């Protein structure tokens, strides 16, 4: 991946659709999304608004709606990995609407490849970028108008990891642990929180899949994507 051109931008700085976009939300949308797949969800529809989320849920009986912040009527779950990890989502479709992560993914829906990422899927995301040999990758730092250090640290880590397999994650994880979002989650400033949320958001490579979002019948749909490791590939 030597020579990959990387940009790190906030949602508001996105002028035109990038070719390849990695949308990063560590705390908590794309940690939650990864947990939803681990708990058996088939796909996640990224909703434009809370009203759209409820309307999308109402169209099919198998759908569950998830929002950030406090619980609300009509929504089945909140944006918390700690709360989600005990829910069986086998075969279900999740409809997710959050303040930052889902907005970031919808902002790049015209890109040719959209990956949604966080630390729990960092290595698989980096591996997918390596496999695609993209010349240019735009990392969307979703939190705090592009300033959220947990998202920027994760984006920078994935970019480095895509270029150099030996990159050490420790410093990047430390920045995320010391971010404002982590403090707000720990101190109860944010709502819909489980005490393990920050720790779960900092679990490097907990899951072996990347997450790819693409338009399906005009809806932005996120799905897990298996990315064989080099060891798997060479053992075949």
Ligand X SMILES: O=C(O)[C@H](CS(=O)(=O)O)OP(=O)(O)O
Nearer residue to ligand X within complex by CB, 1 or 107: 107
Q: What is the dihedral of CA 142, 143, 148, 151, to 10 degrees?
A: -40
Ranges of beta strands (E only) in 150-218 are 209-216
Q: Is 200 helix (H, G, I), strand (E, B) or coil?
A: helix
Q: Which residue has the tokens 């060891």?
A: 231
- Answer yes or no whether residue 100 interacts with Mg ion by CB under 5 A: yes
Contact (Cβ atoms closer than 8 angstroms) between residue 226 and residue 209: yes
79 binds, among ligand X, Mg ion, none (CB under 5 to 8 A by kind): ligand X
CB of 15 to Mg ion, least distance (A): 22
Ranges of beta strands (E only) in 47-179 are 63-67, 77-78, 93-97, 113-117, 136-141
Chain contacts with ligand X (rule: CB under 6 A): 25, 27-29, 68-69, 79, 98-101, 143, 190
Nearer residue to ligand X within complex by CB, 1 or 38: 38
99 binds, among Mg ion, ligand X, none (CB under 5 to 8 A by kind): ligand X
CB of 50 to ligand X, least distance (A): 13
CB of 72 to ligand X, least distance (A): 13
Nearer residue to Mg ion within complex by CB, 116 or 169: 116
Q: How far apart are CA 150 and CA 131, in angstroms?
A: 25
14 binds, among ligand X, Mg ion, none (CB under 5 to 8 A by kind): none
Rounded to 10 deg, the angle between the 170-177 and 149-163 helix axes is: 170
Nearer residue to ligand X within complex by CB, 24 or 54: 24
CB of 100 to Mg ion, least distance (A): 4
CB of 123 to ligand X, least distance (A): 21
Q: Which member of 22, 25, 47, 152 binds Mg ion (CB under 5 A)?
A: 25
Q: What are all long-range contacts of 66-73, with beta carbons under 8 Å and residues at least 24 apart?
A: 66/32, 66/36, 66/94, 66/95, 66/96, 66/97, 67/96, 67/97, 67/98, 67/192, 68/28, 68/29, 68/97, 68/98, 68/99, 68/192, 69/99, 69/190, 69/191, 69/192, 70/191, 70/192, 71/192
Q: Which member of 1, 14, 20, 27 binds Mg ion (CB under 5 A)?
A: 27
Size of the site for Mg ion (CB under 5 A): 4
Nearer residue to ligand X within complex by CB, 44 or 227: 44
66 binds, among ligand X, Mg ion, none (CB under 5 to 8 A by kind): none
CB of 96 to Mg ion, least distance (A): 13
Which residues bind to Mg ion, rule: CB under 5 A? 25, 27, 100, 143
């Amino acid at each position: 991946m030597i020579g990959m051109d990387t940009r790190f931008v906030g949602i508001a700085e996105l002028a035109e659709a990038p070719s390849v976009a990695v949308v990063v939300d560590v705390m908590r949308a794309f940690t939650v999304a990864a947990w939803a797949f681990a708990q058996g969800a088939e796909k996640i529809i990224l909703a434009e608004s809370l009203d759209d989320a409820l309307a999308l849920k109402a169209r099919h009986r198998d759908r569950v709606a998830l929002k950030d912040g406090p619980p609300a009527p009509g929504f089945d779950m909140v944006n918390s990995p700690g709360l989600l990890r005990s829910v069986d989502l086998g075969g279900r479709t999740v409809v997710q609407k959050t303040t930052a992560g889902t907005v970031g993914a919808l902002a790049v829906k015209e890109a040719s490849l959209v990956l949604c990422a966080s630390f729990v899927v960092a290595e698989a995301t980096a591996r997918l970028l390596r496999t695609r040999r993209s010349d240019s990758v735009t990392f969307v730092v979703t939190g705090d108008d592009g300033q959220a250090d947990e998202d920027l640290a994760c984006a920078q880590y994935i970019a480095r990891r895509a270029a150099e397999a030996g990159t050490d994650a420790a410093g990047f994880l430390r920045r995320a642990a010391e971010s404002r979002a982590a403090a707000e989650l720990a101190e109860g400033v944010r709502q819909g929180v489980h005490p393990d949320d920050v720790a779960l958001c900092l679990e490097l490579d907990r899951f072996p899949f990347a997450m790819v979002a693409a338009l399906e019948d005009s809806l932005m749909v996120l799905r897990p994507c298996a990315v064989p490791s080099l060891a798997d590939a060479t053992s075949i």
